[in-house]
Structure 1
């Protein structure tokens, strides 16, 4: 298992979208970069453990998880569109 993880270590640490969001929010809030880095690595390790062990338990619910995830993305997309309409209308006035 360690060899499998080692291949993707760079992606796990640096390509994690949650880390990018966390870093952007940390810059905006002017937090300590070292503390943010430590918390980010902890978050990556937690997601790795959840993904590794949680997948086995969640396989029987895959259809529901896919549907709920797709629905959440759809709802967030509609929300983003609706929130941008006032700004678009103000641009044309």
Structure 2
């Protein structure tokens, strides 16, 4: 089995995960977080998720549909939260 066929079920989550990173970065900017600290923490978390993804894919592949749904829901909720905070509703 090729690498691409193994990660194919996770491609939407990878794409939406990048969108989530943008949402979290915008939340950091609107909250006035130091960009150097935010960038450093983002890199650390990306490396952690890369390690989890690399070693956990074989275990999690049977739960791909649930993981994709939960990840998409989290991204949706964070997006709404960041938009509401940006317009100062919350």
TM-score normalised by the chain length of structure 1: 0.50
Equivalence for 1:47 = 49
Please tell me the root mean square deviation across aligned C-alpha atoms, in Å: 3.2
In structure 2, the residue matched to 1:9 is: none
* Shift of residue 16, structure 1, vs aligned partner: 2.5
Q: Which has the higher contact order (CA 8 A, sep 6+)?
A: 2
Whichever of the two has the greater Rg, that structure is: 1
Aligned residues: 61
In the alignment, which residue of structure 1 is the partner of 2:65?
66
Return 5+ residue gaps in structure 1 as ranges. 1-11, 81-93
Distance 1:34 1:28, change over 3 A: same
Write out the 4+ residue segments of structure 1 that deviate beyond 6 Å after TM superposition.
Answer: none
Give the superposition deviation at 1:34. Answer: 0.3
Structure 2 alignment gaps of length 5 or more: 1-13, 81-90
Q: CA deviation at 1:21?
A: 1.8
| Pairs within 5 Å for 1:9-88 | 16-59=18-61, 61-62=62-63, 65-67=64-66, 69-70=68-69, 73=72
TM-score, normalised via structure 2 length:
0.52
Name the CA distance, whole Å, in 2 between partners of 1:30 and 1:70.
Answer: 31
Q: Distance in 2 between matches of 1:33 and 1:51?
A: 26
